[in-house]
């Protein structure tokens, strides 16, 4: 949800010195970009989520959580991942969609947008369109799922982020 919060902040509060969005929600419509992908992955997901107004159905078992969040090569097992997850509000998922949400027209914050090549929620093309909307530098993390930072490429990803922040004058 950090990507949604960052986009909200940029729209309603203002620019930041820099922003790094790691596999964030897309800029214009999460449901348009991710709804069908998740429906194919888990047909019961949205019914369960609407019933409880809780996003926990996204991660209701270790296997469901792993399919949604990590690749098969992730640095943790589905059980380890599941043990670290907590509840998230489904209301935020709905609020980050039209008619409740539209991205800011102008953002002057330098942005780095990282997308997992194997992200179950959002396609690389949807992430690329969102990055282009913000004028963000766009990087696809090879073979990474949605939780980019627990994939085997996490060290390289952290190095990309650090190098980008240094180029922005942020140490």
- Distance, CA of 140 to CA of 118 (rounded, Å): 10
Note the pLDDT of residue 34: 61
Which residue range(s) make up the domain with 153? 2-167
Is the pLDDT reported for residue 141 higher than 90? yes
Q: What's the whole-number mean pLDDT along residues 35-43?
A: 70
Long-range contacts, 13-18 (Cβ 8 Å, 24+): 15/107, 15/108, 15/109, 16/109, 17/109, 17/110, 17/168, 17/170, 18/109, 18/110, 18/111, 18/112, 18/165, 18/168, 18/170
> pTM value?
0.85
Taking 60 as the threshold, does the pLDDT of residue 33 lie above it? no
Q: Which residue has the higher pLDDT, 126 or 25?
A: 126
Q: Please, what is the average pLDDT of the chain?
A: 87
CATH code assigned at 163: 3.40.50.1820
Burial (CB < 10 A; 0-12, 13-18, 19+), residue 43, is exposed
**pLDDT at site 32:** 55
Pick the range with the lowest mean pLDDT from 27-41, 66-80, 143-157.
27-41
In tens, the pLDDT along 77-98 reads 999 999 998 877 777 777 777 7
> Does residue 34 contact residue 26 with C-beta atoms inside 8 Å?
yes
| 41 has a pLDDT exceeding 90 | no
Q: How many domains does the chain have?
A: 1
- Mean pLDDT along residues 55-64: 81
Each residue of 99-140: pLDDT tens digit?
777 888 899 999 999 999 999 888 899 899 999 999 999 999
Range 145-156 average pLDDT: 94
Mean pLDDT check: name the lowest of 47-61, 128-142, 151-165. 47-61
């Amino acid at each position: 949800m950090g990507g949604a919060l960052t986009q909200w902040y940029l729209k309603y509060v203002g620019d930041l010195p820099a922003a790094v969005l790691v596999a964030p929600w897309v800029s214009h419509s999460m449901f348009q970009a991710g709804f069908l992908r998740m429906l194919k992955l888990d047909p019961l997901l949205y019914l369960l989520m609407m019933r409880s107004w809780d996003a926990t159905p996204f991660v209701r078992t270790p296997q469901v959580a792993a399919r949604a969040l990590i690749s098969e090569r992730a640095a943790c097992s589905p059980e380890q991942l599941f043990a670290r997850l907590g509840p998230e509000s489904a209301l935020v998922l709905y609020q980050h969609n039209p008619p409740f949400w539209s991205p800011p027209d102008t953002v002057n914050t330098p942005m780095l947008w990282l997308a997992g090549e194997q992200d179950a929620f959002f396609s690389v093309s949807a992430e690329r369109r969102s990055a282009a909307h913000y004028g963000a530098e766009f990087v696809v993390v090879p073979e990474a799922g949605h939780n980019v930072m627990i994939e085997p490429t996490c060290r390289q990803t952290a190095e990309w982020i650090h190098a980008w922040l240094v180029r922005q004058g942020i140490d």
